Amino acid sequence: MAWQWKWREPSILIQGAEGFERIEIPVYRSTGGPIFKTLLSSGCRMDCRYCPFAYFCKVRRTAWRPDRLVRVSLQAYREGLVRGLFLSSALYGDPERVSSDIIEVAEQLRRAGYKGYIHLRLMPGTPPGLIRRALELATRVGINLEAPSPSAFQEIAPSKGSWSLDIYSKLLYAARIARDSRRVDTQLVLGASGESDEEVLRLVETLVARGVGIIHFSPYTPVPGTPLAEKRRATPLWRAHQLYEALVLIRDYSFTLRDIEPALTEHGFLPPLRTRLKEYLAQLHPEWFPVDPTTASRRELVRVPGIGPTTANKIMKARSQGELSLELLRKLLGPRWRKVQRYLDLSDLGDN
């Protein structure tokens, strides 16, 4: 199904103490399908310098009663409107209490027999016991890093706790417990702290190595009335797209920051590219090619533009079974063959 929208507000009918009530719910189109994405509360005591929910911003504040949120989530799921719930919150109270309230919603949902996707965003400083419980209940659990270093975080979120102790170490703890890098995620507000791509990628490399596989790059957008709006311009979407490509290369293709470094400008940014990052890197690393598919390692194979992890695995399997031939390679690559062959040394497969 081709989705044409990012956000929608379908309405559902729920039964309360005083009869039926129709309410609209925010539904976000994620890659896996529509998600009911909401905040437990948008009331906040914090002063994050980019955020429309900071205590000094004049916005309408809303909050869910947990039992009502549970009923609405169940109903939306049963009607097939969503495949799951993403639940976060502003910091309306002590972070431990807010995380605890978020987890309570997941508890109630599971107790009611809900089998759908649950993604919980925990607060900085959530104690280990609550992180463990969240992972028992939810499909995915995360804590937002917001910025790539303690100093950058201090600049944009001065009261939200210690980047190192309350967020980074908790995130790594969650990754250790989860033992599945797709179950733990985090988010950076890209461009809010003036950080370079190099700083972001250094963090990405470490997070991936420590088991955090999902990293969201939320491009910074100045919000009128927030302190940072005067200081920083909006981050272009293409920057986030290129960093997502870099994340995939590091996580799924075994690229290192060192492999990507030649693409960075002297100020540590990826320039806006006309090609995919992987193709650009192939141009910058002529020493990587040609690759001999009869002897190349998996890492060498996936560096070839047009060969991904799945194809590399198929090539290696065919090779180990003594079945790799020019014909099979062409078949495996299909329409990619024309592009890929110029990166390959096919002499051992009889192509001279």
Q: Which residues bind ligand SF4 (CB under 6 A)?
A: 44, 46, 48, 51, 53-54, 90-91, 157, 160
**In the bound complex, what is the minimum distance in angstroms from residue 128's beta carbon to ligand SF4?**
21
Query: What residue has token string 């590399």?
Result: 312
**In the bound complex, what is the minimum distance in angstroms from residue 156's beta carbon to ligand SF4?**
9
**In the bound complex, what is the minimum distance in angstroms from residue 234's beta carbon to ligand SF4?**
17
**In the bound complex, what is the minimum distance in angstroms from residue 252's beta carbon to ligand SF4?**
30
**In the bound complex, what is the minimum distance in angstroms from residue 51's beta carbon to ligand SF4?**
3
73/226 with CB nearer ligand SF4: 226
Contacts of 28-35 with C-beta under 8 Å, sequence gap 24+, read 28/86, 29/3, 29/5, 30/86, 32/83, 32/117, 33/82, 33/83, 33/84, 34/8, 34/81, 34/82, 34/83, 35/82, 35/83, 35/84, 35/85, 35/86, 35/117, 35/119
**In the bound complex, what is the minimum distance in angstroms from residue 160's beta carbon to ligand SF4?**
5
**In the bound complex, what is the minimum distance in angstroms from residue 33's beta carbon to ligand SF4?**
26
Burial class (CB in 10 A: 0-12, 13-18, 19+), 319: middle
**In the bound complex, what is the minimum distance in angstroms from residue 48's beta carbon to ligand SF4?**
3
116/161 with CB nearer ligand SF4: 161
91/214 with CB nearer ligand SF4: 91
90/188 with CB nearer ligand SF4: 90
Cis bond leading into 290, ω under 30°? yes
Packing angle of the helix pair 128-137, 169-178 (nearest 10 deg) = 40
187/341 with CB nearer ligand SF4: 187
Query: Is residue 57 within 8 Å of 51, Cβ to Cβ?
Result: yes
87/157 with CB nearer ligand SF4: 157
**In the bound complex, what is the minimum distance in angstroms from residue 190's beta carbon to ligand SF4?**
14
Element (H, E) at 71: helix 66-78
**One-letter amino acid identity for 208?**
V
**One-letter amino acid identity for 148?**
P
What CA–CA distance (Å, rounded) separates 326 from 311?
14
Q: Which is it for strands 84-88 and 184-190: parallel, antiparallel or unpaired?
A: unpaired
End-to-end distance of the chain based on CA atoms, in angstroms?
44
How many contiguous H segments (helices) and E segments (strands) does the chain have? 13, 10
What CA–CA distance (Å, rounded) separates 246 from 281?
10
Half-sphere exposure in the Cβ direction for 125 (13 Å, CA):
11
**In the bound complex, what is the minimum distance in angstroms from residue 232's beta carbon to ligand SF4?**
15
103/208 with CB nearer ligand SF4: 103
216/314 with CB nearer ligand SF4: 216
**Length of the chain in residues, anyone?**
352
181/221 with CB nearer ligand SF4: 221
54/171 with CB nearer ligand SF4: 54
